Chains A and B, each alone.
Chain A
């Protein structure tokens, strides 16, 4: 018996709709909702010594901004009804891979994401989180338009 639904949030409208759809499903199936905001980050990127020196601060800043701008508003909106058990997670990493590992950790029934993230150019150049998620995920993926 699965325990939760993972929602990937990136601040876009589609990801907001994904959260709504997931909340609906969570109510119906009596599942926990895990809202996840992944800050894109690669352990193999190149950086300057000065950036490295500040990295710990920058990581905190990025996480804080993700929490304040993306996660907290969504958490506030969805928990307003008061009938759902909701957790919020901010992580650094490859978005699709991180959602997959969160799905494992939280014993997720499925992962829900919005169809288009914030930037179309990035999607064109680097692929999109939903499409890589579909390839990687061990559980069903629901993509919300």
Chain B
């Protein structure tokens, strides 16, 4: 009996020990990254973190410089993901849809569920408004990144295709005569990506997945309430992650990849269920969001506080400006980098404008954000879900764990790309990185949220420093790509496959479709209806 109690005490201290070691490191880095300008002339105690300004200014700059590209790109992006412009010859390669889906499953993670809850708990309902604005602006940054990601991607001798900021920083800047700067920025980007991958892409996900699993199993008194539960949960999660990334058991990844999109739809439906079960509250909730966004009672200082929360969590969730998505989008099969730039604008839209907003509305409508009972984070969202039915938080828990898992797999890949860029392509680098990644799953699940959030935010936001410097330097390249493409599109030089008027020639056949004397084809082109 005493032995059991003793092991319990030891176990309890394990999570604390992890936290004790980790918290100071996290605090130190957070302090540097979130260096803020005190805005005492506006209001006492209001601070403006420079890093948030950095991201938002980039988004606004590109939105103006590219004349609201993200809004004009929308319609064509939808046509691209429908495959209207896909060359039939390219069947079997990565389509625009697949590139987008892969990137979205990497971004839709706990930032959408827990991050939003944090923003609203700290900044009030008005943070939702600023989050949406940040999402709309971020769409442009994302389009810029992904255009460059495809333009400067690398094709390995064995045929693999991979790209990302490290390549456009090193190659793109070299073309601009800034080779050395490019190399330095690329290396910095990779170092920060490693940090971001273990932070926001790993520990934050593991931490919040555990928090939700613990809360649906009965909280501190449930069967996940014991002292080392976080570590045990983390270990299981680490084994599942390791099975895929180290063990190469792709079937697990394939199953989650198929589940995540359904889960995302299901999550939105669940949020809608929360909204409709409180539909009489909808107008007042919307009014509350708008009113507190400009927060008349708290004065201008309050507005800045709310705005920062909204912007910060939006950036954390949709990753626009960080450069991570450029890695995921780069494998697409296209000859036009601008096409992926178009498609990529949909990513922050889905992530922030749709999914984050849904979470935010559910939290605001049910009022759980103001409730002291639940810690800011996934529990806030869970409490909002619980107002509909007692079993709803379990649905949320499943969604949370799946989102966390798929986000972790995506970030392990980003981290891998960064580490092979830094240390070269080798089995040792590959295995070392993946092992470190798995260890951090356990650390993340065992730490307190504050330590994890601080570290995750810092590292993820640091990625934006080298990346956005590169985007500014390469802004003219992007403009040329995007505007050139749109001009050709407007001129009719680029037509959807169905309107090109020639039948695609068979890939393996010896006889291509015969063309008639007048240049037309004797066979009618395959029409859309037949597909």
Chain A: residues with CB nearer than 8 A to chain B?
34, 39, 41, 43-57, 59-60, 62-63, 67, 87-93, 97-98, 100-102, 104-107, 136, 138
- Complex contacts, A63 vs chain B, CB 8 Å: 92, 508
* CA of A48 to CA of B106, assembled, Å: 9
Sampled A-B contacts (19; CB under 8 Å): A41-B92, A43-B86, A44-B97, A46-B101, A46-B102, A47-B98, A49-B328, A52-B161, A52-B331, A53-B162, A55-B94, A55-B333, A56-B159, A62-B92, A91-B91, A102-B506, A104-B523, A105-B503, A106-B509
Contact present for A105 and B523 (CB under 8 Å): yes
Contact of A43 with B506 in the complex, beta carbons under 8 Å: no
Q: Is the CB of B260 within 8 A of A43?
A: no
Is B14 interfacial (CB 8 A cutoff)?
A: no
Closest to A39 in B: B92
Q: Are B503 and A91 in contact (CB under 8 A)?
A: no
Pair B508/A67 contact, Cβ less than 8 Å: yes
Any A CB within 8 A of the CB of B484: no
Contact among B94, B102, B506 for A106, CB-based, below 8 A: B506
The 6 closest A-B pairs by CB, nearest first: A92-B92, A52-B331, A59-B92, A43-B95, A92-B91, A89-B508
Residue from the set A52, A93, A102 with the largest chain B CB neighbour count within 10 Å: A52
Interface: B93 (CB within 8 A): yes
**In whole angstroms, what is the CA distance A55 to B98 when docked?**
11
Contacting B331 at CB < 8 Å: which of A46, A53, A90? A53
A-facing mask of B416-439, CB < 8 A → 1, else 0?
Answer: 000000000000000000000000
B390 CB–A CB distance under 8 Å: no
Q: Known contacts A52-B102, A89-B506, A105-B504: does B91 contact A43 (CB below 8 Å)?
A: yes
Whether A49 pairs with B327 at a CB distance below 8 angstroms is yes
Inter-subunit contact A55/B93 (CB<8 Å): yes
Chain B residue, CB-CB nearest to A46: B257
Question: When the two chains form their complex, are residues B510 and A87 in contact, meaning their CB atoms are under 8 A apart?
Answer: yes
Task: Check if A104 sits within 8 Å of B508, measured CB to CB.
Answer: no
Residues of B within 8 A of A102 (CB): 506
8 Å CB interface, B488-531 against A: 503-511, 513, 522-524, 526, 530-531
- B413 and A89 contacting across the interface, CB-CB below 8 Å: no
Pair B508/A43 contact, Cβ less than 8 Å:
no
**B134-178 vs A, Cβ < 8 Å mask (1 yes, 0 no):** 000000000000000000000000111110000000000000000
CB-CB nearest in chain B for A100? B530
User: Which residues of B, 89-132, contact A by the 8 Å Cβ criterion?
Assistant: 91-95, 97-99, 101-102, 105-106
How far, in angstroms, from A51 to B256 measured CA to CA in the complex?
A: 14
In the bound complex, what is the Cα–Cα distance between A106 and B511 (angstroms)?
Answer: 8
* A138 contacts across to B, CB distance below 8 A: 530
- Chain A residues near B242 (CB-CB < 8 A): none
Q: Please determine whether B327 and A48 come into contact, CB atoms closer than 8 angstroms.
A: no
**Which residues does chain A contribute within 8 Å of B93, judged by CB atoms?**
55-56, 59
Asked if A46 and B260 sit within 8 Å, CB to CB, the answer is yes
Residue of B nearest to A55 (CB): B94
Q: How far is the CB of A25 from chain B (nearest CB, A)?
A: 19
**Nearest CB in chain A: distance from B429 CB, A:** 15
Name the distance in Å between A26's Cβ and chain B's nearest Cβ.
15
Q: Which residues of B contact A41 (CB under 8 A)?
A: 91-92
The residues of B that contact A89 with a CB separation of less than 8 Å are 506-509
A91 with B508, Cβ < 8 A, contacts A55-B93, A104-B524 known: yes
A139 to B139, CA, bound (A): 46
With a cutoff of 8 Å between Cβ atoms, the chain A residues found around residue B97 in the complex are 43-44
Additional pairs, 13, CB under 8 Å, beyond known A53-B331, A100-B530: A43-B95, A48-B254, A48-B257, A52-B99, A52-B332, A53-B160, A56-B161, A87-B510, A91-B507, A98-B91, A101-B526, A102-B506, A105-B523
**Nearest opposing residue in chain A for B248, CB measure:** A50
Q: By CB atoms of chain A within 10 A, which of B93, B260, B503 has the most?
A: B93
Interface residue B410 (Cβ < 8 Å from any Cβ of A): yes
Complex Cα spacing A136 to B83, Å: 20
Evaluate contact between B507 and A55: CB separation under 8 angstroms: no
Judged by a CB distance under 8 angstroms, whether B355 is at the interface is no
Contacts of A49 in B (CB 8 A): 102, 106, 327-328, 331, 410, 413-414
Task: List, in ascending order, chain A residues with CB within 8 A of B250's CB.
Answer: 48, 51
Residues of chain B with a CB closer than 8 A to A93's CB: 91-92
The closest CB in chain B to the CB of A102 belongs to B506
* B residues less than 8 Å from A60 (CB atoms): 159
Contact B523 A56 (CB under 8 A): no
Instruction: Chain A residues near B159: list those with CB within 8 A.
Output: 56-57, 60
CB–CB A136/B158 < 8 A: no
Assess whether B160 is in contact with A54, with CB atoms less than 8 Å apart.
yes
Q: Is B73 an interface residue (CB 8 A)?
A: no
B160 vs chain A, min Cβ distance (A): 5
Q: Which residues of B contact A34 (CB under 8 A)?
A: 509
Residues on the A chain within 8 Å of B531, using CB: 97
